Amino acid sequence: MSDIRDVAKLAGVSPSTVSRVLNGKIPVNPDTKEKVLAAIKELNYQPNAMAQVLKGGRINTIGLFLPNVRNLVFPAVIQGIEDTAKKHGYIVVVCNTDEDVEKEKFYIENLRRRLVDGFIFCTARAGTKHLLELQDEGFPHIYLIRKSEQLADAVILDNYAGACLATEYLVGQGHRRIALINGPRDVLLFQDRFAGYKDALAKAGIALDENLIIHDIHSWDDGYQAMVKLLALPEKPDAVFATSDPKAIGAIQAIVDAGLAVPQDISVMGFDDSDPARMTVPLLTTVAQPFYEMGAKACERLIKNIEGKRNMKPKIDVFPAELVIRKSVK
Amino acid sequence: MSDIRDVAKLAGVSPSTVSRVLNGKIPVNPDTKEKVLAAIKELNYQPNAMAQVLKGGRINTIGLFLPNVRNLVFPAVIQGIEDTAKKHGYIVVVCNTDEDVEKEKFYIENLRRRLVDGFIFCTARAGTKHLLELQDEGFPHIYLIRKSEQLADAVILDNYAGACLATEYLVGQGHRRIALINGPRDVLLFQDRFAGYKDALAKAGIALDENLIIHDIHSWDDGYQAMVKLLALPEKPDAVFATSDPKAIGAIQAIVDAGLAVPQDISVMGFDDSDPARMTVPLLTTVAQPFYEMGAKACERLIKNIEGKRNMKPKIDVFPAELVIRKSVK
DNA sequence: CTGAAAGCGCTTACAG
DNA sequence: CTGAAAGCGCTTACAG
């Protein structure tokens, strides 16, 4: 690969001049510019990004941290972030932490060494402190979907309102014994969804039945197991609110395997409206979280932050939740 | 952030010595080493990666190209690649091309500028030439899942055998009118799966019925439409082989919406065994492609290639396909 | 075992 | 508008 001096030689100018036509900020004589451009083309010259960054430039790369790439809400998130990043000339590095704090630290240490201009974290949990250091040091970053306990830039859903919406709809359809299959409680959004469920029931004058509530369920396979337990109750629930679509799908499978039908015997409500919600039979009634748009927004705000174009007060963007009525609730 | 000279000053040595303890190849007096390490720790020093790479090092990053992040086979692929990359101290950059050759070129141009040591492409289609240049220039890369028309490093499934397996199983279960819902034909693997279907039918003495074959279907929504067409045939199929799980899921939905049952009225066979295959009702019978392992293998081979540890003859690794019998075929 | 020097490929004041 | 020089933060022969 040729370097800037090869180009300079071929064009009969100094490397400084080549650099100037490359960057386009400082005026260059049109004729010389022409010659330089021709030389660049002839040599198929690409500036060495490392050298540029070393001179104080930005690398135009964003690090995206996901707790688990197999979680099917993230494809849309990635797409929203990537599309926005590309629009601004940025590239996205995806890092999968598997909810492992040590792995996350390893990646952060690596990427901070000028390999990345900022971070987007979808990995926040209660009680992790290493992300707070970034805030102290003013390294650009933003939380997405999940937020941290401390006030920091974030783009999230109104999870409380979404859970209210879901529960109120089930109540409105005449259900009274509404079970909850919830996620891990050290992820704040599941606390919020739990609160929405509780408050909506209270508002409807329905007493909370602890037997109907199962926490710390992760995906569809343990969602299945949770539903098996609920079906073994002396008095079965007549509806189930699962706080993510895979958990809802697991519940549907357990109900069908028990010889019952959804929604005829038991109604099932999901959360997120991820792609699998439209792949199941019956089509899942759920609460939509606009992942693409949220990813795009977070990326937009991070880039503004990186490029120093914004006021530095941390701010939380809250997207509204929306009920999507399909076929799994009667 | 402090640099190597700060560390040198604090430790009372030269930057060269600091560099030497950092790299650990050249012996350093244990006492000085001690002092340097202490200084590094005290200053929380992290070497600037740009400078290191500029001096001729590797950046230890791999670029992964996906045709579409929303395709649900990729999470497992990413995980396999990431885990392997991490084991070797590499990081993974994921680029989503949306099957857009221009976008792909943009990313490649960007990343080649020393931001990446090699590429993994899951984006090969017939007739794209820009990837061949990389081969000419000896830039490390490997194809995964899809292969290119030219001989190049690749890790793929035995798609032909997989399609034979699927079709033979349907035939063995007594089906005779076996429809095919296939993907875009400019992706070679769908040609291979088509060939497997054809040959297996021929071997069973079943004549090919063009009315039962629909090509160029991408995902579950157009899989649904394809099935609607098949159901409108004067003589309906008694089984459907869809060459990906989402297409199979779309077909199941169309069958159920038409008031028929799977597998009682029509059997449905998928392909890939991606996560959604275990999320549907009935559980999908399909052909497994070991995505995690294939991703891991491709990553392993690419890194060997990057680090110059392998003989340079292009080689294609073919993984065997495996039938996974669940509930959607009777 | 260690330090001073050169250089990786750029950019940017500085001087003209 | 343009060139020569310095320097970004490292590493690595070279000399000791």
Q: What is the pLDDT of residues A157-175, one digit of tens each?
A: 999 999 999 999 999 999 9
- Asked if residues A286 and A248 have their Cβ atoms less than 8 Å apart, the reply is yes
Sheet with B141-144, strands from edge to edge, namely B91-96, B61-66, B118-121, B141-144, B154-157, B316-319
Q: Please indicate whether the domains covering A61-157+291-320 and A159-289 agree at the CATH topology level.
A: yes
pLDDT of A171 reads 98
Kindly indicate whether the domain formed by A4-47 is annotated with CATH number 1.10.260.40.
yes
**pLDDT recorded at residue B113:** 78
A51/A75 Cα distance (integer angstroms): 33
Q: Tell me, in Å, how far CA of B50 is from C1' of C12?
A: 19
Chain B: give the shortest CA distance to residue A256, in Å.
Answer: 8
Q: How far is CA B229 from the centre of its chain?
A: 31
- Please tell me the predicted confidence (pLDDT) of residue A84: 95
Judge contact between A281 and B280, C-beta under 8 A. yes
Whole-number Å distance between alpha carbons of A147 and A128: 12
pLDDT in tens, A238-282: 999 999 999 999 999 999 999 999 999 999 999 999 999 998 889
Token pair 């990906």 in the structure block, residue: B244
Give the integer Cα–Cα distance in Å for A24 and A36: 12
Residue A25 pLDDT: 82
Contacts of A278 in chain B (CB under 8 A): 220
The pLDDT score that the predictor gives to residue A131 is 81
Give burial (CB, 10 Å; 0-12/13-18/19+) of A89: exposed
What is the token pair recorded at A85? Answer: 């990043």
Tell me whether residues A48 and B54 touch, CB distance under 8 A.
Answer: yes
Give, in Å, how far the C1' of D3 lies from the CA of A8: 12
Nearest by CB to residue A220, choosing from B86, B110, B279, is: B279
**Could you tell me the sign of the dihedral formed by the alpha carbons of B123, B127, B133, B135, in that order?**
positive
What is the rounded distance in angstroms from the CA atom of residue B119 to the CA atom of residue A283?
39
Please tell me the predicted confidence (pLDDT) of residue A64.
94
Q: Going by C-beta distance under 8 Å and a sequence separation of 6 or more, which residues neighbour residue B253?
A: A279, A281, A283, B220, B224, B227
* Integer Cα distance of B120 and A129 in angstroms: 35
Buried b (16+ CB within 10 A) or exposed e, B214-247: beebbbbebbbebbbebbeeeebbbbbbbbbbbb
pLDDT at residue A235 above 90?
yes
The C-alpha angle A32, A38, A39, rounded to 5 degrees, equals 90
What value does the mean pLDDT take over residues A193-211? Answer: 97
Which bases along strand C come within 7 Å of a protein CB atom? Answer: 1-5, 7-13
Three-state secondary structure call for residue A318: strand
Q: Answer whether residue A310 shows pLDDT above 70.
A: no
Asked whether the predicted pLDDT for residue A205 surpasses 70, the reply is yes
**pLDDT one-digit tens code per residue, A42-73:** 998 888 888 988 887 788 889 999 998 888 89
Q: What distance in Å separates the CA atoms of residue A139 and residue A118, rounded to the nearest whole number?
A: 7
CATH number of A159-289: 3.40.50.2300
**What mean pLDDT is predicted for residues A19-45?**
89
Distance CA A268, CA A187 (A): 23
- Assigned CATH for B61-157+291-319: 3.40.50.2300
Round to a whole number and report the distance in Å from the CA of A7 to the C1' of D5.
19
Residue A25 contacts B where some CB pair is shorter than 8 Å:
no
According to the model, what pLDDT value does residue B18 have?
93
Q: Does the pLDDT of residue A183 top 70, yes or no?
A: yes
Mutate which of A2, A45, A50 to test chain B, going by most B C-beta atoms within 10 A? A50
Domain ranges of chain A: 4-47, 61-157+291-320, 159-289
Q: Residue A62 belongs to what H/E stretch?
A: strand A61-66
Nucleotide nearest to B33 (CA to C1'): C1
Q: What is the DSSP string of B114-143?
A: TT-SEEEES---TT--HHHHHHHHT--EEE
Q: In angstroms, rounded to a whole number, what is the distance separating the alpha carbons of residues B55 and A186? A: 45
CB pairs < 8 Å spanning A and B: 138
DSSP state letter for A77: H
Q: What is the mean pLDDT of each run of 10 residues along chain B (330 residues)?
A: 89 93 87 91 88 86 90 91 91 86 86 86 84 82 92 95 98 98 95 98 97 96 97 97 97 96 97 93 96 98 84 88 97
User: What's residue A128's pLDDT?
Assistant: 75
| Identity of the amino acid at B39 | A
What does each C-alpha distance from B158 to A215, B148, B149, B289, B326 come to in angstroms? 42, 15, 16, 9, 21
Give A309's pLDDT tier (boundaries 50, 70, 90): low
- Does A279 contact chain B (CB < 8 Å)? yes
How high does pLDDT run on average in chain A? Answer: 92
Could you tell me the pTM of the whole model? 0.88
- Both tokens of A244, joined, read 């993510």
Alpha carbons B93 and A111: distance in angstroms, whole number: 11
Say which CATH class A61-157+291-320 falls into: alpha beta
Name the residue with the least CA to C1' distance from nucleotide C11.
Answer: A55
How many other C-beta atoms lie within 10 A of the C-beta of residue A12?
Answer: 11
Q: How many degrees, rounded to 5, is the angle at CA A311 between CA A310 and CA A313?
A: 130
CB B259 within 8 A of CB B223: no
Is residue A92 less than 8 Å (CB to CB) from chain B? yes
A61 with B114: CB under 8 angstroms?
Answer: no
pLDDT of residue B221: 92
Q: Which of A54, A256, A280 sits opposite B51 (nearest CB)?
A: A54
CA B40 to chain centre: 40
- DSSP, collapsed to helix, strand or coil, labels residue A274 as coil
Flag whether pLDDT at A137 surpasses 80: no
**Could you tell me the sign of the dihedral formed by the alpha carbons of A271, A272, A278, A279, in that order?**
negative
Sort out which chain A residues have CB atoms less than 8 A from B277's CB and list them.
none
Alpha helices in A138-290 (DSSP H): 159-172, 188-203, 220-231, 245-257
- By the 8 A CB rule, do A311 and A94 touch? no
Q: Which of B106, B329, B101 is nearest to B237 (CA)?
A: B329
The closest of B234, B274, B259, B299 to B63, measured between CA atoms, is: B299
